[in-house]
Structures are given as structure tokens and as C-alpha cells.
Amino acid sequence: MTAFFERPGPRWFNIPAHRPFADDLARGLYEALSPFGPEALSDALVLTPTRRGARAVADAFVRAADGRAVLPPQMRPLGDLEAGEPPFEPGDLALDLPAAIDPLRRRFELTRLVAENWSLLPGRELTASSALELADALGGFLDSLQIEEVEAGEKLAGLVEADLAEHWRVSRDFLETALVAWPKRLEALGVVDVSERRVRLLRRLAEVWTAKPPQGVLVAAGSTGTAPATADLLAVIAAAPRGAVVVPGLDDSLAEAAWREVDEQHPQGALRRLLARSRIDRGEVEVWPASLAHRAQGRWRRRVVNEALRPPRATADWLHAIERLRAEAESDGIDPVAEGLAGLSLASARSEEEAATVAALLLREALETPDKTAALVTPDQVLARRVVAKLGRWGIVPDSSAGESLAGCPCGVLAGLAARALVDPLAPVTLLALLKHPYVRLGFEPAELARQRNVLERFALRGPRPWSWSMVGARLRAKGHAGLPLVERLESVLAAPPDAGGVADLARAVTAVMEALAADAHGRTGELWSGHGGEAMSRLLAGLIHETHGLPEVSARGFADLLSRLMQGETVRTGGATHPRLRILGAIEARLVRADRLVVAGLEEGVWPRGAPLDPFLSRPMRQTLGLPPPERRVGLAAHDFAQAACAPEVILLHAERREGQPAVKSRWLWRLETLARGAGVEIAGHAEALAWARSLDAPDVYEPVSRPAPCPPLEARPRELFVTRVETLTRDPYAVWARDILGLRLMDRPDEPVEARARGTAIHAAFERLALDHPGDLPPNAAAIFEALYVEELEKAGMPREALARESALAREAAAWVAELEARRRADGRAIHVEKTGKLPIRVDGHEVVLGAKADRIEADPQGYGHILDYKTGRAPSQKVVDAGFSPQLTLTAAILAHGGFADIGRLTPGELVYLEVTGRKPAGREEVRASVDESAEAAERALDGARRLLARYFQPDQAYVSRTAPQFVKTYASDYDHLARVFEWSTSGEEGEA
């Protein structure tokens, strides 16, 4: 094992994709160096792509030593350099290098640069959010130049040809200005970009090690050398006296013709570029010694995956490739495709939520086996966080690299709510979210805060939203809760900032609001700024306060959007105890880390691989001219990481059929794998049991749809007084009468309840009533204007949103003209107008006395002794057919009560016309819908009264139940407040809708 360090360099090795990279690397080094004493191993230096990869290799050395005490090599990350950490800054290596600029400050500085040069980008509106968006794109462009070590200055001048769009000329001019201004700004600050500093360090390290090569063991492992500086450093390491480079998953079985076809999107693209830059032939790369003894294990999986991902132009030879594979395995008596797909399975979830549940269950199942390890590999951080949350139901905390978005941390949530509250402090949903946040105290003890919050929610914030603090107070006073201290405290804390101001001013305002909200009775802010989330939030707000001078002014709403965007881009790494056998990994980390069971998730186009990012500054040919890598390079790197993960012994490939409610397309690599398997006549195993677990996890053991509810209360509990609208409900939906009139259940309004329809109906009734009361006789000449003003005033009182009032005002003008003409015509004979009158009529039903009640919108008593009954509607009135069938007996029963003298203030009148007045303000602005004429109404009234007696008689039978929805044809037309309680959807879809 030691010979490979002693032979002449360069030394390039490969750990095949089907082998556990970290374990083989550690075992190889341990077996090679441990015979020479513990110092030989501890003096070695291992460079890994990331910090987490270094930790994985350190753990692998413990396993390689079989639990014995071991001093592992020094391990350093190539992709996450820190100042003052050997070997990157030994001696005077970085003595004259400026410090790296803080990433957050860099974003703000670039945003300021964009704002200062906005005149170069005509036709675009300048906002802080749009400036930040362009700054991020500019930062990506600068990073690409620095990583690829491209000097773009002179190339930019000839970048745009005459036939290109003006947009690209504007972009070129802006980039030329930025490339001059940005280095000057960095020099003034005494810092450099992180990418530039890293490239300089790697270059200097390569120079030092070339001039004076390290004499100890030096191994670079797991890197694909995508950056030129990294690739050149790997070549130096490979040529060192005892140096070696170990690459992950080089495909040594790919035919030479196919190898020449490898492009940017291919999994081997990065390794091909690395070897070409280092002038190493693929045949010179040896298999890592520790992987030789186990090379046959998993060999066919690696071959099948590599064949599936071969270059597109080489896929035409798939059938011949399958034949060659089978010829190779003929002596072993196996089908290499079936052998390669053994241990690999596919699960297709319906949605992201189900995919997260399936992943959590598969990981949880693996932990049932002692010592078995499991890992989720996905580039989708949202999915990773969902899986972490799902695992929490079993008390399992995985070692996750996904972290948590700052916007999802308690402190970040409070900041976002505070910013939105400054935009609209009386938005009920935002206000309630603030009051229920665990950090909020507002100077109260928790119990007192909860009491006052409940009062405020119940009596002021539910229903139509209040538009002022005085309206909140009025609602509370109406319910006997005047002078609630919480309201005064909220009004003072959430005082609205100016409509527009500097980003720093608004950041200070949000900070002050957060601290005022979190302050307890003693002025302490508790956990507000503590923990990882609190520290990250305080850094972000401090940066907004101190680093954003020069940015354009923003509105409070614009600042809330800007803050949300910034928080979404910040990831908080949380510590704490994690499960030792469970990991959640990003795609790059999975190169080095291997588990007994690997769940590979997020396999949808646009997720893995991600789509090529949009570049607002450069087109594809322009990038090529500058010498920048094409967007497809990222696809090739992602394909390599997928191939590495798919070669694990037990792999479950997981994808979702829908994402964000839209159909999702399987990842191209999944399509290729399935196509190859079908061509070979082999089926990839499914995971039906995991899907069944997920779908039954929160479902009952046996699904038995609820039957239609039919409560049967005792006779003494049944109502003895019913208004005619309740009789109508009893006709259609007796269950609603049981819930409301017997149980006394009332629907609680939602916060910020949409009120357009209800406000319109309330306003129409009130406007008609006030017009009749204020002008009982002849109408004034300006009756239309009076009605319009009354209607709009009542809309405001009813809580109509301000933005809807403009539309309603136009409708009100049309409706008022129609109402004025209606009133003049109907009052012409001098009839008396009675509005909002209540009448009651006792009737006998099987020995029981029942009182029928009615509240009439309008009764007109004409000189001939007829009482015409009118009901106002802002929507469609019940049809003639529905009224004749007895399903809408409101007008006919009201007429019966009037005919029998039930309206004491009016007296006994012969029923006249029964009319619905449809008032919409549209074309036509109103309509009179007569449901019974003077000649028909008396008979219709008596018929309705007899029908009511018969209906009520049924419900005085002890065995008569209050069944849900006895008239299901009206389910869509007449929604009930109690449908959810009756579980109408469940029983109506189980075949019972025809039963009564």
C-alpha cells in the first residue's frame, strides 16, 4: 500500500462511484501510513471540497481504525477557506492580501453601485428591491470573472455586434462602468471579493508548493477541479514528492469514442476538463488501492448508471451497449442490467408534501435496523426542511446541512410581521400573527396578554376589517370592553412611518417595533436577539441600518418586500444534538458521504437539475466570447453528483408528480434510467409500500365514510318559534336548524372576512329604510342623489374595503336612479310605506303552539286595503318554480302572517303583490321580480301556511330526525354555515346523497 506514494508522480487515483468514497480514502491512507507510527498519519494533509466533507473523512478514519484511538491527518476544505488556517496561509503567504469583504456588505455595496449608475439602464423603474436583484446578478458576474480568472475589460468593447438588440448595448455599457467602479470601491474599503481572495490564495499556494514541494503525504480528495486555480493546484499536488489526487467517480469503462463526446452537461464533463487541463490521460488514473479489493461489488450498478447518462449522441447505441454488457457477464451467468438495478428502486409521490413524508418514513424505517445508516440527498432545501419537520414527530433530529431560512426562524418571522404591520397596522391577520408570536409581550404578563388578545380578536378583529383604531375602540365599546390597554399599546407601537424613506430609517423603525413588541413588563426583550436566528437577524438589520446609504428611497411596502427577499437568501445553521446514523446532505456533500440507505429526492426538472439561470447582462454567445463557462456546466456537475449517489448499494429514487400545484416533469436522468431499463426488458422496482405508509400515516386503519348525519333531539328541545327564513332552512337543510336553533351554535367570523356581498346587502336595506323614514310622503327632486349618498355611507359603515368603494360608487349612481324611479311610481297612489317591521303569528301544530315570525324588508299598504310585500336582493332572487314548490316560502309566509294580523303595527291586510327587488347597479340597474300578483297572493299565502303546518308537524314526531341536506339540488346554490360540521362533502361523495 505504501508503494503508490513512493513511485514517481504525478499520482492520480479514482474511487469508483459505487464505492463509499470517505471510507475507502480513509482505509487506504490508514493501511498505508499506520505501520510507520501514529505520527505518519497525523502528519499527512488531506484536502476536501467542503468542511462537511472533512468531517466525514475524519469519521471514516475512526471506522478504518476499528474503534482504536487514532490521530487522523490534518483535514482542510478547499472550497471554504478561512483566514489564518494552514496550509492556505502559512508564513507570509497571505500577509499582503486584504481581508475578504463581508458577503452581506458586498450585496449592499453592489446595490449602491447599481443605484448610482441607474441612468445607464433606461426604461427601468428604480426601487431598492429591483436594485438588489440586479446587484445579485452583477455579483454573480463578478464571481464568474474571478473564479475563471478572465480579464473582461478589453473584451467588453467588442462584445456587442451591430445586429444585436439595444438591450445588450446597455448591459455592456453598465458592465464597463461597474468593472471600473467596483475595484476602486473595494480598494477604498481595504478589502477584496471572497472569490478573488480565494483564487489568489490557491495560486500562491500552488506557486509555493511548486517551488518548494511539501515532503509529507499530501492528498486532495473528492474535488472535480471546476475552477482553474483549483485544477492547477490539484496538478501541483499530484506531482508533489508524496502527493496524490483522488477524484470521485471517474468512468473508466466509457468507450473512448463516447469519452470524446463528453460535453458540459455530461456527468464526466468536469473530470474530463480537469484531466485535459492537467495533461493526464484517462488511462493514467489508477483505481485507489483500498477500492481494488472490492471493485466487483456494485460494478454493474455503476456501469448501468453510466450507460444511462452517456452523451446524447451515443445513446443511439444503447441496444448494442446492453448486448456488450450482457456479453461481459455471460461467464458469470447473470443479467448485468438486472444485477445493476438490484437495490435501486423508484417511488413516485403525488406532491412535495407526500414526497417529504415518504422520505421521512424510509429514513425512519432504516433506523429500525441496529447500526444501519441512512441519508437523504437532495439539492432542494425546502424539501430537506420538510423532511426534518416530518422526522420531528418521532423525536428524530437528523444531521442536516440544509439549515433553516432566516425568514422561518422565530426572530425572522417577527421581523417580517413587524415590517408588514408598518405597512398596514390594522390588517387583522398580521395583527393576530404578531400578538400570538412567542416573543411578543408588549409590556404585559403572559396571562394578561392572552386575555386581552382574546377579547381583541373576538370582538374587534373578526369579521370585516376595521379601518382605524377608533373603529376598533368602537367595536370593543359596543361589546362592553371599553378602554382595552392592549389597543392603546398597539396603536403607539405601530405608529405608521412616512410613506417613503431611506432603507436605514425603515430598518430602524422595524427594529424599534420588534423590541417594543418583545419587551416584557420590566422592559427586557427576552430571547429576541439570542440564538443563531437572533444573531443572524441582528446582523442583517445592522447592515441595513449602517451599510445602505445611497440606496433609493423605499415605501414601507417596498421595504417589507426587500426585507423578505434578504431573509429568504440567508440560511441559519442550527446546532444541537443530532441522530448519529441519519444525515440530510446536499448533492456536493454526497460525493464523500455514503450511507447504507440513500434516499435521492427532488428528481424533477428544474430542481435536479436546476434550469440554467437567467443572466440579465450577458447572452450565451457573449459569455462564450468572454471565456466564461456556459450555463450547462452546472447541469454536468449536478449529473455527476446524481451518478455518485445513484451508485450506492441501496438507493431509493424519489420524485413528485406535482410541485406547487402544477404537474412536474421527471428529471432527465430518471427518464434515461427508465428508458435503458425498458430497453433491456428489466423493470425498476417500485416502493408501493412506502407510498401506502405515507397515505395511511394520518388516516384511520379502515376508511369508513361518515353517513349522513340525522340527529334526533327530544321533543322538548325542538324550537317553538321560527322565523320564516328558518322555515325555509328547515325545508332544505334541517341539520342547520338543529345546529343553530337547538344547539345554539353560531358561525364565528374569520379575521378580515370578505364583506363585499354582505356589505352590499346591508347597505341596500339600510338605504331603503332611511329613505322611507326620512321621506315618508312625496319624494324630493333629488331623491336619486339622496339614495346614492345613503348607500355609499352605509357601505362604509358595513366595512366595504376602500379600494372597492370606487367601483361601488359608480354602481350606486345607476342603482339610485332606478330606485328613485321605482319609489316615485310605487308611491303614486299615496300608499303607506312600512320598513323593517316584525310580525308574529301563533299557530297550533298537533297540540303544540308554534310562533311563526317574519321581519319584512318593506310592506306597502295601499288605499284599497292590500299589503304589498317587497324583499330586497343584491343577487339573484329565488325563481318562480322554487317559490311555487315551497322551497322559498319567505314572501308567502310573510303574507300569511300579514293576512292574519300578525304585524301589530300595521294591522290585518289582504296580501297584495309579492315582489323581490333585485338591485345591482348594473344593466339593468334593478329589476322587479313578482312572484305572486294581487289575485294570487292570498291563495299562495294560505297554501304556504298549510305547508308550514305539515312541515312542523313532521318535526313534532319523536322519531323525526334533522337530516342534513334533504334538498341536495340546492347544495351549490345555497351554501350552509354548517356544511363542514355535517361533513357534507364526505357523505355526499360516498353514494348517500339520495337518501333522506
Cα–Cα nearest to 891, from 903, 878, 881, 902 = 878
Rounded Cα distance between 911 and 54, Å, is 92
Half-sphere exposure of 909 (CA within 13 A, CB side): 28
8 A C-beta contact, residue 391 and residue 356: no
> Phi first, then psi: what are they for 842, rounded to 5°?
-75, 135
pLDDT confidence tier of residue 84, bands split at 50, 70 and 90:
very low
Residues 847-880: tens digit of each pLDDT: 889 999 999 999 999 999 999 999 998 888 888 9
Which residue did the predictor score with more confidence, 82 or 79? 79
Q: Which three cell numbers stand for residue 897?
A: 302572517
Q: Are 894 and 903 in contact (CB under 8 A)?
A: no
- Please tell me which residue, 107 or 576, carries the higher pLDDT value: 107
In a 10 Å sphere around its CB, with 0-12 CB exposed, 13-18 middle and 19+ buried, how is residue 665 labelled?
A: middle
pLDDT, tens only, 134-189: 888 899 889 988 998 888 777 776 666 655 556 677 778 888 888 889 999 999 99
Cell readout for 465 is 376589517
3-state helix/strand/coil string of 99-116: EECCHHHHHHHHHHHHHH
Beta 500-501 vs 554-555: how paired, if at all?
antiparallel
Backbone φ, ψ for residue 238 (5° rounding): -65, -30
Q: What is the pLDDT of residue 608?
A: 87
Signed CA dihedral, 417, 418, 423, 426: sign only: positive
pLDDT at 486: 92
Question: How high is the pLDDT of residue 660?
Answer: 84
pLDDT of residue 87: 58
Indicate if the pLDDT at residue 81 is higher than 60.
no
Residue with cell 340527529: 711
Got the DSSP string for 914-959? Answer: EEEEEE-SSSSSEEEEEEE-HHHHHHHHHHHHHHHHHHHHHTTSTT
Decide the pairing of beta strands 191-192 and 218-221: unpaired
| Cα separation of the two ends of the chain | 84
Is there a contact between 380 and 586 (Cβ–Cβ < 8 Å)?
Answer: no
Mean pLDDT along residues 502-519: 92
| Confidence at 34, pLDDT banded by 50, 70, 90 | confident
Q: How confident is the model at residue 604 (pLDDT cuts 50, 70, 90)?
A: very high
Residues 6+ apart with CB under 8 A from 936: none
Whether the CB-CB separation of 677 and 684 falls below 8 Å is answered with: yes
Task: Write down the residue that cell numbers 337543510 correspond to.
Answer: 733
Q: Is 641 exposed, middle or buried (0-12, 13-18, 19+ CB in 10 A)?
A: buried
Q: Which of 463, 377, 370 is nearest to 641 (CA)?
A: 377
Q: What are the Cα distances from residue 970, in Å, to 954, 960, 973, 975, 991? A: 21, 22, 5, 8, 17
Strand partners, 555: 500
Residue with the bigger pLDDT between 173 and 450: it is 450
Measured from the Cβ of residue 387, the count of other Cβ atoms closer than 10 Å reads: 28
Q: Given pLDDT bands bounded at 50, 70 and 90, which one contains residue 434?
A: very high
What nine digits make up the cell of 906? 300595521
Confidence of residue 210 (pLDDT cuts 50, 70, 90): very high
Cis peptide leading into 580, omega within 30 of 0? Answer: no
Q: What is the pLDDT of residue 867?
A: 94
**Residue with more model confidence, 679 or 975:** 679
pLDDT of residue 517 exceeding 90, the answer is: yes
Is residue 836 helix, strand or coil?
Answer: strand
User: Are β-strands 45-48 and 74-77 bridged in parallel, bridged antiparallel, or unpaired?
Assistant: parallel
C-alpha cell at 363: 429514513
Distance of alpha carbon 111 from alpha carbon 552, whole angstroms: 10
Is the separation of the CB atoms in 600 and 377 below 8 Å?
A: yes
Residue 244: phi, psi to the nearest 5?
-160, 150
Please give the Cα distance from 891 to 914 (Å, whole number). 6
Strand, helix or coil for residue 412: helix
What digits encode the pLDDT tens for the residues 5-33? 777 879 999 998 888 888 899 999 998 88
C-alpha neighbours within 13 Å on the C-beta side of residue 110: 25
Residue 912 confidence (pLDDT): 93
Q: What mean pLDDT comes out for the span 930-954?
A: 93
> How does pLDDT run across 231-275, given as a tens digit for each residue?
999 999 999 999 999 999 898 887 787 788 888 888 888 899 999
More confident residue, 808 or 157: 808
pLDDT of residue 707: 85
Percentage of the chain modeled with pLDDT above 90 = 38
Give the number of other Cβ atoms within 10 Å of residue 492's Cβ: 11
Q: What is the pLDDT of residues 616-665, one digit of tens each?
A: 777 777 788 888 888 778 888 888 888 888 888 899 999 999 988 889 99
- Residue 582's pLDDT is 92
Q: What is the pLDDT of residue 161?
A: 60
pLDDT, mean of residues 349-361: 94
Which residues have CB under 8 Å from 577's CB, separation 6+?
Answer: 397
Q: How far apart are CA 895 and CA 693, in angstroms?
A: 61
Rg (CA), the chain: 38
- The most confident of 52-66, 411-425, 669-683, by mean pLDDT: 411-425
Q: Which residues pair with 872 in a beta bridge?
A: 917
* Nearest alpha carbon to residue 461 among 434, 440, 442: 434
Q: What is the mean pLDDT of the chain?
A: 86
- 73-82, 125-134, 520-529: segment of lowest average pLDDT: 73-82
Query: Taking 80 as the threshold, does the pLDDT of residue 501 lie above it?
Result: no
Residue in 339, 349, 330, 260 with CA at minimum distance from that of residue 302: 339
In a 3-state reduction of DSSP, which class is residue 604? Answer: strand
Instruction: Flag whether pLDDT at 113 surpasses 80.
Output: yes
Of 164 and 220, more confident: 220
Enter the pTM of the model. Answer: 0.80
Secondary structure of 517-576 in the HEC alphabet? HHCCCCCCCCCCCCHHHHHHHHHHHHHHHHCCCCCCCEEHHHHHHHHHHHHHCCEECCCC
Beta strand segments in 236-386, E? 243-248, 286-287, 344-349, 374-377
Helix 410-423 with 556-568: angle, nearest 10 deg:
160
Which residues contact residue 905 at a Cβ distance below 8 angstroms, ignoring those fewer than 6 apart? 834, 837
How far is Cα of residue 215 from the mean position of the Cα atoms in its chain? 53
Residues 473, 479: Cα–Cα separation, whole Å:
10
Q: How many whole angstroms separate alpha carbon 949 and alpha carbon 967?
A: 19
Other beta carbons within 10 angstroms of residue 333's beta carbon come to 6
CB 945 within 8 A of CB 937: no
pLDDT for the residue 994: 42
DSSP 30-85: HHHHGGG-HHHHHT-EEEESSHHHHHHHHHHHHHHTTT----PPEEEESSS--TT-
- Residue 244 pairs in a beta bridge with 219
Cβ–Cβ under 8 Å, residues 667 and 673: no
What are phi and psi for residue 534, nearest 5 degrees? -65, -40
Per cent of the chain over pLDDT 70 is 92
**Amino acid 83: pLDDT:** 43
With cut-offs at 50, 70 and 90, classify the pLDDT of residue 80: low
Return the minimum-mean-pLDDT range out of 314-323, 665-674, 885-894. 314-323
- For residues 158 and 964, the model is more confident at 964
Instruction: Express each pLDDT in 976-989 by its tens digit.
Output: 889 889 988 888 77
Q: What is the largest CA-CA distance in the chain?
A: 123
Distance from chain centroid for Cα 530: 26
Euclidean distance between CA atoms 312 and 950, whole angstroms: 79
Ranges assigned E (strand) in 161-297 = 191-192, 218-221, 243-248, 286-287
What's the pLDDT score for residue 159? 67
pLDDT above 50 (res 1)? no
pLDDT exceeds 60 at position 366 = yes
Cα(955)–Cα(964) distance, integer angstroms: 14
Q: What angle do CA 427, 433, 434 make, to 5 degrees?
A: 90
